[in-house]
């Protein structure tokens, strides 16, 4: 009863945040696809200008980057609460299976390496579009998508194997907190893959250019955040359970 009353609000909040992220990403992608090219403003002769030039307004950072920094900050707090919940219930399960009964450290290490490799491909695709090299951008974009899909495939395989061995969210405290934490991260990876696909499609419509590299940079901020969160989850959930740790 205590677990249900504690995890139900967290699960509801997690679903709301995930739905918000999907909605924002979808809106962002659709908006970019239908956005019209800005109209050119005729140059004003020097003798018709009035007064000194106005200083730049704001912080000097694109608003879209500030928005996503704010979103990432809120997501950090949410992941922090889920990780704290996992640690609170760690070792308190009254029935098995236990972590050592189901964990496959070799498989999880491989999937972790693949996900972290996607951070490198993300950096390379951003560098490519900043140089105006659209071909290399698409190449590294596809590589990032593939890395994300492979990681999700590993996670689906892991979850299905654990369920076959008798570990579900209703089995014990470990199962409930484990699936909630890692599953919520998997949703973030899936949203990131969808975002990369939208960028790839957008690039064929002329929406991804050197001048609009900030859109790819924002996607990179989100993707690196997801990778860093997984490093923490992998350390807390898996490495702390390894024999001799």
In the chain, where are the structural domains located?
2-32+62-95+105-241
Q: What does pLDDT average to over the chain?
A: 82
Task: Domain 2-32+62-95+105-241: give its CATH code.
Answer: 1.20.120.80
Interatomic CA distance for residues 27 and 33, integer angstroms: 10
Give yes or no for a contact between 221 and 103, defined as CB atoms under 8 angstroms apart.
Answer: no
Question: What DSSP assignment string belongs to 22-57?
Answer: HHHHHHHHHHHHHPPPPPPPPPPPGGG--SSPPPPP
pTM above 0.85, yes or no: no
pLDDT of 190 = 98
- pLDDT at 229 exceeding the cut of 90: yes
pLDDT (tens digit, 9 = 90+) per residue, 14-67? 444 444 444 444 444 444 443 444 444 444 444 444 445 554 445 667 778 888
pLDDT of 54 = 53
pLDDT of 41 = 42
pLDDT of 65 = 84
pLDDT of 52 = 53
Give yes or no for a contact between 107 and 158, defined as CB atoms under 8 angstroms apart.
Answer: yes
pLDDT (tens digit, 9 = 90+) per residue, 200-217? 999 999 889 999 899 999
pLDDT (tens digit, 9 = 90+) per residue, 116-141? 999 999 999 999 999 999 999 999 99
């Amino acid at each position: 009863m205590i677990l249900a009353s504690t995890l139900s609000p967290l699960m509801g909040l997690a679903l709301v945040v995930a739905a918000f992220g999907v909605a924002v990403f979808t809106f962002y992608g659709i908006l970019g696809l239908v956005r019209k090219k800005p109209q050119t403003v005729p140059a004003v002769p020097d003798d018709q200008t009035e007064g000194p030039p106005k200083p730049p307004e704001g912080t000097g950072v694109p608003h879209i980057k500030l928005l996503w920094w704010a979103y990432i900050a809120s997501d950090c707090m949410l992941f922090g609460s889920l990780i704290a919940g996992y640690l609170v219930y760690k070792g308190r399960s009254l029935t098995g299976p236990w972590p050592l009964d189901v964990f496959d450290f070799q498989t999880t290490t491989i999937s972790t390496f693949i996900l972290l490799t996607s951070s490198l491909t993300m950096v390379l695709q951003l560098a490519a579009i900043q140089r105006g090299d659209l071909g290399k951008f698409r190449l590294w974009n596809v590589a990032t998508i593939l890395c994300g899909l492979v990681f999700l495939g590993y996670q689906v395989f892991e979850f299905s194997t654990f369920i076959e061995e008798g570990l579900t969210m209703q089995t014990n405290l470990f199962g409930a907190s484990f699936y909630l934490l890692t599953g919520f991260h998997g949703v973030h990876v899936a949203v990131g893959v969808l975002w990369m696909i939208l960028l790839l499609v957008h690039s064929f419509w002329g929406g991804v250019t050197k001048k609009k590299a900030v859109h790819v940079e924002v996607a990179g901020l989100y993707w690196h955040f997801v990778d860093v969160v997984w490093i923490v989850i992998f350390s807390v959930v898996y490495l702390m359970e390894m024999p001799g740790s």
